[in-house]
Structure 1
Amino acid sequence: MKSFLLYAVSAVLLMGTSLLAVNDDHDHKEHKLTRAVAVVQPTQKFKTAGVIHLKQKDGKVSITGKVTGLTPGKHGFHIHQYGDLSADDGSSAGGHYAPEGHEHGGPHKAQHHAGDLGNIVADENGVAMIDKQSDDFELSDVIGRAFVVHAGTDDLTSQPSGDAGARAGLAVIGISK
């Protein structure tokens, strides 16, 4: 009798947990990606930091945020091919994100790397506020890639990357709520 009762209780518990698993929030529906975030970390010899938010709406991606620890003035700002931050100098992030194979240029040019976002400008305190938009990529195209903030100005012309100097800060782009 004891073993029958043990089997019966076990069966009820097993069925109950199965029902809980079915009702869990794993509906496997495709969810539209609309937000992402990237936390800026410094490369060696720099003190760059910040947070960048991305939001997709109506075919455009808005890019907003704040980067600190920069020298006053313009700094090249790009999305690079890889989200690999393992190299101290940021070189493991690869080159600019350029799925179409275009040459480097400013975001205002008809043909440029999709990751060419121009420059951000740091004030006298080394703080740059970011407020940009791009229709060159979808948010899902850049998840896992990296933002790179360069030490110098992107001249928007020089090949292959605008002569913007060292990589001062890096941030992997990740999915956000």
Structure 2
Amino acid sequence: MRKVMIATTALLGLAACNTEHPAATGAPIAQGAHATAMLRTADGADLGRATVTEVSGGLRVTLDLHGLPPGTHGAHIHTVGQCDAPDFATAGGHWNPAGAKHGSMNPQGPHEGDMPNLIVGANGRGTIGAVLPGATMAGLLDADGAAIVIHDKPDDLMTDPSGNSGGRIACGVFAAS
């Protein structure tokens, strides 16, 4: 009888291994949509690009930038696909369709467009990759589009509405790619 119980338990364990589980948030999606934004300074200097890829449960945003001041900078997706110099105010506020508070450290946050800080080395280069859970390509590329903005100061990841991240020093408008 003991051997039958052990065999039954083993078979049940193996059967559980065959159960399909939904993909974890951030897992690649075959044929997932993409969007890119070319970032520029207020005087039009090229700084690199942002790429957004549709993943399971959200969007993955990757920044690959150069020519920025060394240090830590806030990086956010903003609600409007416009980047008019000199201050990029036309990009609007942070992308926040759920009406949350700002920042991953805020118990009522984060905004959909809140990202981790971008750390730029002494050579002016900075890269970052982050998954925005719940974000959709349809929301990003809605009627008025969206922009990616780099700020001159670090984001404190908590203070509403923008994490005390200072002025806008770079901006790029997302377009489907």
Q: TM bucket by the smaller chain?
A: 0.7 to 0.9
Q: TM-score, normalised by structure 2?
A: 0.74
Letter in 2 for 1:126: G
Q: 1:127 aligns with which of 125, 128, 140?
A: 125
Partner of 1:42: 41
Stretch deviating more after TM superposition (147-156 or 107-116): 107-116
Partner of 2:150: 149
How many residues are paired up?
144
Matched, 1:72 2:73: no
How far apart, in 1, do the equivalents of 2:49 and 2:105 lie?
22
How far apart, in 1, do the equivalents of 2:166 and 2:123 lie?
20
Letter in 1 for 2:148: F
Q: Which consecutive aligned stretches of 4+ in structure 1 deviate over 3 angstroms post-superposition?
A: 107-110
The CA deviation at 1:60 is: 2.6
Q: Secondary structure at the match of 1:117?
A: coil
Partner of 2:50: 52
Structure 2 residues not aligned, in runs of 5+: 1-30
Q: Secondary structure at the match of 1:69?
A: coil
Q: TM-score, normalised by structure 1?
A: 0.74
Larger radius of gyration: 1
Counterpart contact for 1:39–1:171, Cα < 8 Å:
yes
Counterpart contact for 1:79–1:97, Cα < 8 Å:
yes
